[in-house]
Structure 1
Amino acid sequence: MSEPKQEESTSALGEASTVISPRASPAPAAGAPPASPPLSASWAEGSRFAPGQALAGRYTVLDVLGQGGMGVVLAAYDARLDRRVALKRVHSREASRGGDGLAQVRMVREAQSMARLNHPHVVAVYDAGTLEDGSVFIAMEYVKGQTLRSWCQHTPPRPWREVVKAYLDAGRGLVAAHAAGLIHRDFKPDNILVGEDGRVRVTDFGLARAGAEPSDASQPVTALSASALEASLTLPGAVLGTPAYMAPELLQGQTANVRSDVYAFCASLYEALYGRVPFPMDSMASILLFKEGRSPVPPSDSQVPAWVSRAVLQGLHSDPLQRPGSLEQVLRQLEDDPELRRRTWLRMGGLAAAVALCAGVAVWTWGRQGPGCESLERRLEGVWDAPVKLRVTRAMEATGLPYAKDTAQRVERLLDGYAQAWVKQRVEVCQVAAAHAVAAPQGQSLGLLREACLERRRSQLQALTELMGRGPDPELVDKAVPVAQALPPLEYCADAQALTAAVPPPEDPQVRARVEALQAQVEPLAVLLAAGKYKEGVALSEQLLPKVEPVGHAPLHARLLLLRAQLQDGAGDYKASENTVSQAISEAARGRDAVLAAQAWNLRLLLVGVRQARPKDAELLGPMVETVVELAGDEATRASSLQVRGRLLENLGQFKQALEHYERVLSLREKLFGKSHLQVALALMDLGNMLRRMGRYAEAKERLERSLVIQQDTVGPTHVTVAHALATLSIVYKELGQYEEARVQDERALNLMEEALGPDHLQTVVLRQHLGNVLLDLGAYAEAQVQHERCLTFLEKALGPEHPDVSKALVSLGIALAGMGRYEEARLRFERALTLQEKTFGSEHPDAAIMLINLGGVLADLGRYEEARAQLERALVVLEKALGPQHPVLSIPRTLLGRALTGLGRYDEAQRQLERALALQQQPQEHPGLVEPLTGLAWLQLARGRPADAVPLLERALKLAPEQAGTEVRFALAQALWESSQDRPRALELATHAREEWRRRGHASKVAEVSQWLAARIGGSP
């Protein structure tokens, strides 16, 4: 930020009004009007007046105070009245421009208007007339001090009450003007002065008119022209006034009145309170656009109370008829400070009020206790009692699911324990309240917080049991146990430190009652979220918003918005969720709810960085989210934040850092929930998946199998999270070459997900992709093509054609097409996928390298070996940098590179690449990952004319290859056996088997190739 400049007071249209002592002023706040030039600038007009010069026969120039677009202001000595005055002089060229002396008339009217006023908060006018050069002047009261704008920009910032008090004084001066039949037309902080004596004065009625004068009607203010709307903020001769503070109707050419002055007053006060003007200041067009339809939104972090904001915002209504009809109404609202009323009441109420208050508290406490604390278990009647249990069980069993009864029993055990703990705490709170009702007010206050917390928990328990008992719902049966586990912990309600740190309920009893009633309506949203009833939850939140927002209790409003955003996220409406969570962040900050703010920031990071794949935006958000989470100091929120940041790091290819985040998540959740909780199982899934991506398959399998056991024990074998665990575990089976087992797990997972979320949910589509990829490994290319085309269509529609997840579907589809010999179609898919990845993540990202590998492979299939070599070498550089040179994944590009080099006849280089690929796949046990490098080495031996050396390599590969994945191996082995004259009958059998398999897959080019080979050896036809 640049150093502040020396400034003087400026008035309407940029001209100085009265004497101001020079002082350094802070840089203007964002959105504030641009400051006028400093006195140190070269002012040609002002330099015409030298100190000691005599004007109008009675004024001696002392100094030039300032200059604007229409004139100059001088400090002068009035010899006739023996006092210093401020002399405002209008340029003679402006006077001549006015036609019929309009400029002179306007200045004389200003003098006449202000001279009629005699008010302590209005600058006095003494004289008006004509100078020697024919220009007009006005002599005004000299005020030593500063403008109200400079006064408000004091460092440190002035408390809001001081600012309101100053504007109340200015408003009283403006009210006096209205009472005299005058309209200011240009009320703004630059036209209000604060003297060294502290008195506030309104000045510069240079645009004022007597409301009753007939001349006004004959000369209305002209509306802005189209070209003027594109101009900046100084528009002499068009609209009289300063646009930032002008009512919308004035910008449309209507006549100024009291209501337009009310608007200017409120716009000025808004700027003083919040550090910015109500509407943007970048152009006249944007000002008019906002002023015609929108209400300004005060900053969420402001200390200004809602009752002040309401008074100011009423005066800024775009419709003048909706504003207060007089400025007195605004001033009365601003004077009605509830805190001052309370203090007055306490002073005047005396002992009688105190006694009445104590009596009221005693009666209230006794009423809360009821006949006895031990009877508080009755608070759960209709929430979780025998009839409710029976209704829930019957609803579950009515689904006809074979595991419904078992699930109902699990839920009953969980909720029984929760209810018992609730009653125990509620009785304890009651007993403490009875003991401390009079002796320890602080203990009573804590008791109220505990009671409010427990009542919120009861509301959520009731929402859960009502949801479960409303009728048969197979989807809800699958989710019943995790939803019950997701009930907020009761331990929080016994944590005095957490409760006192949380946002307290409203002090006003009526407001508190409304908030508590609405809170009971909001809590079911959390249950619907946990139950996966996303669309139902979104619809309910839509109904609640117009009820909650007018109450003005920011913490409740923020919670509603956060739950709505989470539900929108669950429903897959990521853009709407991002908009909603931004509102939740603002409300949480306004309500001082640090934990909820941290949760909202975390969701925003998830939506931006993961859901919508905007890594650059996420990178900017990351430090902010981390800071907010640390300030909140909540371990559960910290674990969730680490999980989201881990996913971002994983998406960016920073696997080591992501693994560290996931390990911290696991540690925190084990500490919070124990080692057998569903949240721990989910953390193990993330950790196992990360280990898998790093090639640490044995460790990954151990974590994932442990996660699966916890989930099945906790929720049963059919929960939606079990589907995720099965799908992730199937990937490890794939890496270990257990393709049929992987297929079984994926099909089971897909069935579970379709039952839970439907066939067109994004998570269902992800599992469909998993199954399609297993089909690729099994060589079932036609089946895989169907699955991946279905996925691609959905992803393009749901996420947009440029989303990076679309690239993964394109790659899988390309592999299926290549497997059927449709190489050119495959190449086009791979190239589009590469473009999408590089556009989102850059060319150095590991996922972009995967696209290069597939593209290189299909280019080799097309015989374009040199192009294939270049792409595969690029991929190797990226992957080695990201994963290290020993990662097993590098075996794939090295194998393909070796085969491309074989096609180029560069056999020694090919040998080195293929041997390194084989070494990367070596493990204590033989596994299918060896098949590709073994086959590549065998083709190299055949190309070198060494078929006998190829045979053992291919025999080994054939033993390891799955039935449907060994077609190429069979044909290569057939050639090696035939050319080495080892077992030609078997060679023909192998070739025939391979041809039929390729025929079944629809791979026409391979069928033709094998047929020609067979025909050349046995004379048979295809």
Structure 2
Amino acid sequence: MTPLLPTAYHQNQALQGLAMIGRTVLHYRILQQLGGGGMGVVYEAEDLNLGRHVALKFLPSELERDPQALERFQREARSASALNHPNICTIYEIGQEGGIHFIAMELLEGETLKARMAKPPALALDQVLALAHDIADALDAAHAKGIVHRDIKPANIFINQRNQAKILDFGLAKLAARTAVGVAQTETLGSSPIDLTLTHPGSAVGTVAYMSPEQARGKELDARTDLFSFGTVLYEVATGSLPFRGDTTAVVFDAILNRTPPLPTRVNPDLPSKLEEIISKLLEKNPDLRYQSAAEVRADLKRLQRDTSSAQIPLPLAAWGERKTRPRVATDSHWLRYAGIALVVLVVGTIVALLSVRHGRAMTERDAILVTDFVNTTADPVFDGTLKKALAVDLEQSPYLNVFPEQKVQQTLKFMGRSPDERVTSEIGREICQRDGIKALMTGSIAALGNQLVVTLEAVNALSGDSLARDQQRAKSKEQVLDAVQEAATHVRRQLGESLASIHKYDKSLSEATTSSLEALKALTLGDAKHEASEELEALPNYQHAVELDPNFAMAYARLGAVYHNLGQMEQSEQYRQKAFELRDRASEREKLYIMSHYYGDSGQLEKGITALEMYRQTYPNDSIPYTNLASIYLQLGQFENALDNARHAVAIDAGSVTAYQNLAASYAGLNRLAEAKATLNDALEHNVKSATLHMQRATIAWGENDTATMERELQAAQGSADGDLMVLDFRARAAGARGQIRLARDLTRKAREAMQRLNLKQGPATVLAQL
């Protein structure tokens, strides 16, 4: 199964940003990229009129055509420009050129509170109180104008070189539509009435760990949501840990809504009791019991500043991450305690291992299994490839079995000097297993027996050839073959050691998990072969044929949504994505999570997408797809460190995934680690992971480095498929425009549009290159 959320054309924002450097937009000359967020990319630029350096924030090119995103960007600018306060980042200008929208704002020198908390020494108490006073003052000014930030967190609080706090990024700002408690009734910014409501009931916007309960529920918000988030920040600064934590978004939501955090003084006994009172009142789950205005918070902080002498807040070591300080040395009694625990774990582990052997479990959850092609002696070609796909879908329902990815199979075939499309017989399968350290392979066959069809499945030890599990089922007709495959797979899963409880939970019939139509499944299989090779245009006819054969085929609709999304055809993508979501219960558990995460992620409901993907990752930890798609979402949000972490996991699990490498390279580029981005792309090609989009990424980096020879070489390498040819044509058109070759740019643009019309595409697939 291939990833849906990451797109070949919309994930390269970090790479494309390199091409902006050196350009002049109106009277601003762009010097370097500073970072990015969900609603824009930020550059340092020189104001050629006034001779000062500013920060320019651009709307990402892939969102230019999204009216909601454009409106949100403009709202941020209007919101922030209405505020003139020393603790709020100043907005100088809102402008656009050539359809590119930007905000010119104050260029700050210093670091974010998030960065400051990540390194020693600890902040002194008087520093914490001074910064808290600045934040409260800024919020009071914003709330007085009816503006709610809704994303207060350490990353959005900047500490300048004078140790003053400044609030950044009103990208989620909301102008209160009604009088909020503690907020003046101000419904205009300037003279025109503006509704700055960016969400509606039922959608949660903001950074999860810092959300208020009402925000987590997707309710209407007023100024008090910022006060709760402010309390979370203060708790974290004062104690070194977040008040609401968890391994998944769902767990964090539950903590915010239902759990009371430990008292700050229990985490850090040196805190003043009055600061604990302030934090606890800010973190009241009921807004009516919370502080009702930032002015009240500011007054209490000022009193505490007056009554408290300077003191150091000793944060726990765990709060600092990797600190280069001397670790505590455990006493002998500590060592004995840890040694005792280790001994118990060792003994228990040994007992479990012995019991596993005694019960004859043929495999463990960490073992991979390779599915070979079926031996088909029926002379009916509909079974070729189709039954292998059906068996893989059934086995992939199981969290117990780790099906070796098809892309990795193709990669190993290349290393063996074979065609990646070659049929994987049992002999070739055993060689693949031995090369990749796979314990077992699953073989299958279908044969005619009178007027019946016999399906046989067998799991085989890859080294010895011994049978690990075997089952045979009969089908009275071709229409019953998929049921026979599913029944045989269920028996084999049990023989391999999977529990009955797991099988009962993750064992939908194939007609419910995929389709009852062999022909439709055959079409999906052919489409997947092209989709996995990033040949999206070639995949389309097969997926379209699949839904024609079975109008209720959820995964075929999901694939269509993915392909059209990758091609930049958002209207068609949304149509098929919605249909897949409506039919999600007609898919396996794994595919259901896949469809949900794709739907939420592509429709801009990123937090719900993250929640679905984290559930996916927990249930199927050996699947690269949730890591790949999480990396894609974090790239969209400009959270490059999170993207990098997930992309690394994806590549480690599936080194044959084109999209995993694309995300990894884009993550490095977003962090301005270009040498590692290039090394990643080189590594992909050395592993025989080939795709036009990988070459386009290399060409984009070369463009940003003014390396024309490398750029041309990579553009030539990207050609050869309909997708690649169109991307290259679009790239050359935009590059010509950036060089001022207007006539050439127009000619190439005309040719690109003609190509799109021939392919029945409404929008260019390489819209991400609009920044060039």
Same fold (TM over 0.5): no
Is the helix fraction higher in 1 or 2? 1
Could you tell me the TM-score, scaled by structure 2's length?
Answer: 0.36
Tell me: higher relative CO, structure 1 or 2? Use CA pairs within 8 A at least 6 residues apart: 2
